[in-house]
Amino acid sequence: QVHLVQSGAVVKKPGASVNVSCTASGYTFTSYYMHWVRQAPGQGLEWMGMINPGGGFTNVAQKLQGRVTMTRDTSTSTVYLELSSLTSEDTAVYFCARAVIMRSGFDIWGQGTLVTVSS
Amino acid sequence: DVQLTQSPSTLSASVGERVTITCRASQSINRWLAWYQQKPGKAPTLLISEASSLESGVPSRFSGSGSGTEFTLTISSLQPDDFATYYCQQYNSYSPYNFGQGTKVEIK
């Protein structure tokens, strides 16, 4: 079975950085794109960016460029999202989601990771 | 950037009713549109891709249509399990992969 398992909830102080992981199983890790989507409390879905685990190519949403880094470790089938210079507006549930090709919907999602930014 | 506008934002309906949600794009996205269902505290699930292609395992009461700038998601006979929030998403342009603001389907 295909699964994406994310790291657990974290609390961070303003100005800090956070790292969220997403470990894939049940399929060929390098054959699918991985996207990151976040959802602030009571709000809609916001696309953050994507990574091609095969070659490492990334594409980050313009509003987050400079603060977001996406990486992958093919030996453990894991992708990582690092978000720096956190503010309270970054408090959200962060999801990883798989896509077959660049032009496709997101067919498998992780369970979500709650990141709370609070002093 | 392509903007997506869903209507209505909230919809109250009864079990058995036919329900239609509209998603309008600010420019043509051909048929590169997906629909998702999200229940509280859960990740979204993909219902429909390429505007009208039903994902495996999704009940046939769900259907999608449209192309260009106007799209619809229809639930032919609303079931108790369908009360949720629905999002459209475009993937015609690769950045950003925008979502609509969501439509919450509530029990009437």
Residues A78-109: tens digit of each pLDDT: 999 999 999 999 999 999 999 998 889 999 99
Q: Is B80 helix (H, G, I), strand (E, B) or coil?
A: helix
- A9-18, A63-72, A94-103: which has the minimum mean pLDDT? A94-103
- Model pLDDT, residue B104: 98
pLDDT class for B19, splitting at 50, 70, 90? very high
pLDDT tens digits, one per residue of B1-14: 899 999 999 999 99
Angle CA B102–B72–B3, to nearest 5: 50
| Predicted pLDDT at A103 | 85
Distance of residue A70 Cα from the nearest chain B Cα, in angstroms: 15
Q: Would you state the pLDDT for residue A101? A: 85
CB B6 within 8 A of CB B21: yes
Please answer yes or no on whether A103 and B96 come within 8 Å at the CB atom: no
Between CA B77 and CA B75 the distance in angstroms is: 6
Distance CA A105, CA A107 (A): 6
Is residue A65's pLDDT more than 90?
Answer: yes
Who among A46, A62, A109 is closest to B44 (CB)? Answer: A109
Mutate: best of A106, A108, A113, A114, partner B, most B CBs <10 A: A106
- The band of B101, judged by pLDDT with boundaries at 50, 70 and 90, is very high
Provide the Cα torsion A27, A31, A36, A39; round to 10°.
Answer: -50
Which pLDDT value is given to residue B41? 96
CA distance A110 to A63: 23
Interface of A with B in 5-44 (CB under 8 A): 35, 37, 44
- Within 8 A of B58 by CB-CB distance, chain A residues are none
State mean pLDDT over B70-84. 97
Per-residue pLDDT for B95 more than 80?
no
Return the pLDDT at B94: 73
Rg for chain B, CA atoms, rounded: 13
Of B43, B95, B100, the CB nearest to A109: B43
B93 has pLDDT over 90: no
**Among the listed residues A35, A102, A45, A96, the one whose alpha carbon sits nearest the alpha carbon of residue B32:** A102
A100 in contact with B at a CB cutoff of 8 Å?
A: no
Largest CA distance in chain B: 38
Mutation target to probe the B interface, by most B beta carbons within 10 A, among A2, A103, A104 is: A103
- Token digits for A53? 């685990």
Q: Report whether A84 contacts A96 (CB < 8 A).
A: no
SS3 string, chain A, reads CCEEEECCCEEECCCCCEEEEEEEECCCHHHCEEEEEEECCCCCCEEEEEECCCCCCEEECHHHCCCEEEEEECCCCEEEEEECCCCHHHCEEEEEEEECCCCCCEEEECCCEEEEECC
User: Above 90 in pLDDT, residue B102?
Assistant: yes
- Quick one: pLDDT at residue B7? 98
pLDDT of residue B80: 95
Rounded to whole angstroms, the maximal C-alpha distance in chain A is: 41
Q: What is the mean pLDDT of chain A?
A: 97
- Distance, in angstroms, between A111 CA and closest chain B CA? 6
- Among chain B residues, the shortest Cα distance to A101 is held by B91
